[in-house]
Amino acid sequence: MNGPQTDIDKTYINVALFTLKQIVGRTFPNPPVVCVIVESSYTLTDHKIVSFGLTSFTGRPHAEANAIESINYKKNKFYTLYSTLEPCSHQGRSESCVSKIISSGFINRVIFCTLDPDKRVNGKGKKKLIDNNVIVDHGIMKNSASKIYEGYFLNRKKKRPKVILKLAISMDGFISFKENIRSKITNRMTNQYSQIIRSEVDGILVGSNTVKVDNCILNCRSPGLKKFSPVRIILNRSLDLCLNLKIFKDCSKQRTIIITQNKDLEKHRKYLNRNIEVRYITPKKYNLRNILEDLSSIGICNLLVEGGAKIFSSFIKENLFDEIFLFRGNFFIGDGGLNAVNSEKNNFLSKKKFSIRESIRFGNDSLEILDSLKKNNQLDSKNVFGNN
Ligand SMILES: NC(=O)c1ccc[n+]([C@@H]2O[C@H](COP(=O)([O-])OP(=O)(O)OC[C@H]3O[C@@H](n4cnc5c(N)ncnc54)[C@H](OP(=O)(O)O)[C@@H]3O)[C@@H](O)[C@H]2O)c1
């Protein structure tokens, strides 16, 4: 038996892709992968799933290893391993997935959606399988898979994560009643949904002033989601944040990074002693592109940017975002409100940079998911912030 059995293969790849969507952002620092092992006769006339494997929530073991491990295979049966991504072929801390597949001795055929853009794998996994007499096919549902892997592909190909800006604004487009004030903009339902969004990214980035003013924790607090709390990243050039802030309370449980231009090692040590990682970037290189490249190098593929105004302004001005989650509370702030973006000077928000992909309601609040036009080249003249 050779070549793709299109309908059957599509069905099982779809099962894997459906499951993949549930684990994006939850396998840091490795890409999420879903494997389905199907047992059949050699003619493929009867077939059934005998194992599922997902990348573990800590990144290891990989999906293939998890799927293979739980199988009692039968010698007279034929086994196809469906995977959302090309199995890895490089030796890391443990045996590569390709070696696992080969040494398992029972996988006859491997079908995957897309080659892995990681240079250490790209096509090598496929070749090694073929060299070891495993039938290989790929490209099935490639476009659907590529969409789900957008963050991972950006990380490996462009050296930056997928960037999602998350803003909560009033009806008239303000993110706070005034500067340096913490303001409640959205309702409980919306806030709970925000926790789910956090649980689906690898990292949350904020500016130092949001940490100071909001004294935010930036974790996933909803029951069941705690273990998916992402890496917290704070931009703080001068490294002057007070260690009494809530965000620094339990950094041994949630990885916390400050990106700074300050190279004073005494100051670094103060934070390191509290399990806070300090990443130094020289003043010359301290810009968003380099910061994103640095985050990409530690495995961040999906990054949620949660403010405040200066940070939003910088990302929008430099066109360094892919999506915006725009939550809107059901009230007006009026004069004196803090603009979501420093738009008075630059008027970025009226510059047709977004198209609305989806609208959802949470009671009186709403959420619009906007795509960067840079990404899909669609035109939308609507000024979504409404206060320009
Ligand atoms: N409604 C919402 O969605 C929402 C969300 C978050 C915050 N907020 C509100 O926003 C306000 C805080 O906003 P903010 O504009 O004052 O401060 P911010 O954007 O939170 O932080 C700005 C600071 O980040 C640091 N930074 C480092 N690199 C930067 C870069 N490339 N671009 C911009 N900043 C950089 C700078 O401080 P260093 O000198 O320390 O580097 C800068 O002063 C608060 O009132 C908060 O409540 C609202």
- Provide the CATH number for the domain around residue 371: 3.40.430.10
Same structural domain for residues 130 and 171?
no
- Whole-number pLDDT of residue 5: 61
Same structural domain for residues 204 and 115?
no
- Domain count across the chain: 2
Tell me the residue range of the domain where 278 lies: 154-376
Same structural domain for residues 96 and 137?
yes
Mean pLDDT of 42-64: 92
Q: Would you say residue 56 lies in a domain? A: yes
Ligand 1 atom at minimal distance to the Cα of residue 240: 40
CB of 210 closer than 6 A to ligand 1? yes
Residue 370 vs residue 388, higher pLDDT: 370
Q: What is the dihedral of CA 58, 64, 69, 75, to 10 degrees?
A: 180
Q: Is 118 helix (H, G, I), strand (E, B) or coil?
A: coil
Spacing, Cα 319 to ligand 1 middle (Å): 17
Ligand 1 atom at minimal distance to the Cα of residue 206: 20
Same structural domain for residues 139 and 168?
no
CB of 349 closer than 6 A to ligand 1? no
CB of 53 closer than 6 A to ligand 1? no
Q: Would you say residue 383 lies in a domain? A: no
Q: Would you say residue 363 lies in a domain? A: yes
Q: Nearest to residue 170, comparing CAs of 323, 4, 337, 362?
A: 337
Residue ranges of E strands in the chain? 34-40, 47-54, 78-85, 109-114, 135-138, 162-169, 174-176, 203-207, 231-235, 256-260, 276-280, 302-305, 323-328, 338-339, 354-362, 365-372
- Whole-number pLDDT of residue 300: 97
Residue 350 vs residue 160, higher pLDDT: 160
Residue 64 annotated to the active site: yes
Ligand 1 atom at minimal distance to the Cα of residue 185: 1
Q: Would you say residue 58 lies in a domain? A: yes
Q: What residue type is 166 in one-letter code? A: K
Indicate if the pLDDT at residue 237 is higher than 80: yes
The percentage of residues in the chain with a pLDDT greater than 90, rounded to a whole number, is 83
Ligand 1 atom at minimal distance to the Cα of residue 182: 47
Same structural domain for residues 215 and 118?
no
Indicate if the pLDDT at residue 354 is higher than 90: no
Q: Would you say residue 17 lies in a domain? A: yes
Same structural domain for residues 115 and 163?
no
Cβ-contact 302, 21 below 8 angstroms: no
DSSP label at 284?
A: G
User: Distance between CA 124 and CA 128 in Å, rounded?
Assistant: 6
Spacing, Cα 5 to ligand 1 middle (Å): 53
Same structural domain for residues 291 and 355?
yes
Residue 2 is encoded by which pair of tokens? 């050779």
Spacing, Cα 152 to ligand 1 middle (Å): 27
Q: Of the residues 113, 148, 183, which one is the last residue of a structural domain?
A: 148
Q: Of the residues 132, 148, 164, which one is the last residue of a structural domain?
A: 148
Indicate if the pLDDT at residue 364 is higher than 90: yes
φ and ψ at residue 90, rounded to 5 degrees: -95, 140
pLDDT tens readout for residues 243-298: 999 999 989 999 999 999 999 999 999 999 999 999 999 999 999 999 999 999 99
- Whole-number pLDDT of residue 379: 34
- Provide the CATH number for the domain around residue 144: 3.40.140.10
CB of 238 closer than 6 A to ligand 1? yes
Residue 375 vs residue 170, higher pLDDT: 170
Q: Would you say residue 388 lies in a domain? A: no
Same structural domain for residues 120 and 44?
yes
Same structural domain for residues 119 and 251?
no
- Whole-number pLDDT of residue 62: 93
Given the residues 39, 64, 86, 306, select the one marked as catalytic. Answer: 64
- Whole-number pLDDT of residue 343: 57
Indicate if the pLDDT at residue 236 is higher than 80: yes
pLDDT tens readout for residues 54-77: 999 988 899 999 999 978 899 999
Residue 315 vs residue 347, higher pLDDT: 315
Residue 122 is encoded by which pair of tokens? 């790209």
Substitution site in 208, 281, 368 for ligand 1 pocket (most atoms within 8 Å of beta carbon): 208
User: Distance between CA 70 and CA 313 in Å, rounded?
Assistant: 50
Q: Would you say residue 316 lies in a domain? A: yes
Cβ-contact 340, 312 below 8 angstroms: yes
Substitution site in 245, 260, 311 for ligand 1 pocket (most atoms within 8 Å of beta carbon): 311
Ligand 1 atom at minimal distance to the Cα of residue 180: 45
Same structural domain for residues 185 and 117?
no
Same structural domain for residues 129 and 271?
no
CB of 181 closer than 6 A to ligand 1? yes
Q: Would you say residue 313 lies in a domain? A: yes
CB of 209 closer than 6 A to ligand 1? yes
Same structural domain for residues 107 and 230?
no
Q: Of the residues 104, 128, 148, which one is the last residue of a structural domain?
A: 148
Q: Nearest to residue 202, comparing CAs of 214, 221, 220, 216?
A: 220
Residue 302 is encoded by which pair of tokens? 């999906």
* Rama region for 307: left / alpha / beta (φ>0; ψ in -120 to 50; rest): left
Beta bridge partners of 323: 164, 371
* Rama region for 216: left / alpha / beta (φ>0; ψ in -120 to 50; rest): beta
- Whole-number pLDDT of residue 242: 97
Distance between first and last Cα of the chain: 63
Residue nearest to atom 22 of ligand 1 (CA): 207
- Whole-number pLDDT of residue 349: 55
Contacts of 248 (CB under 8 A, 6+ apart): 241, 256, 274, 276
pLDDT tens readout for residues 140-198: 999 999 999 999 999 999 999 999 999 999 999 999 999 999 999 999 999 999 999 99
pLDDT band at 326 (very low <50, low <70, confident <90, very high): very high
Q: What is the dihedral of CA 277, 156, 301, 137, to 10 degrees?
A: -140
Indicate if the pLDDT at residue 351 is higher than 60: no
- Whole-number pLDDT of residue 2: 47
pLDDT band at 10 (very low <50, low <70, confident <90, very high): very high
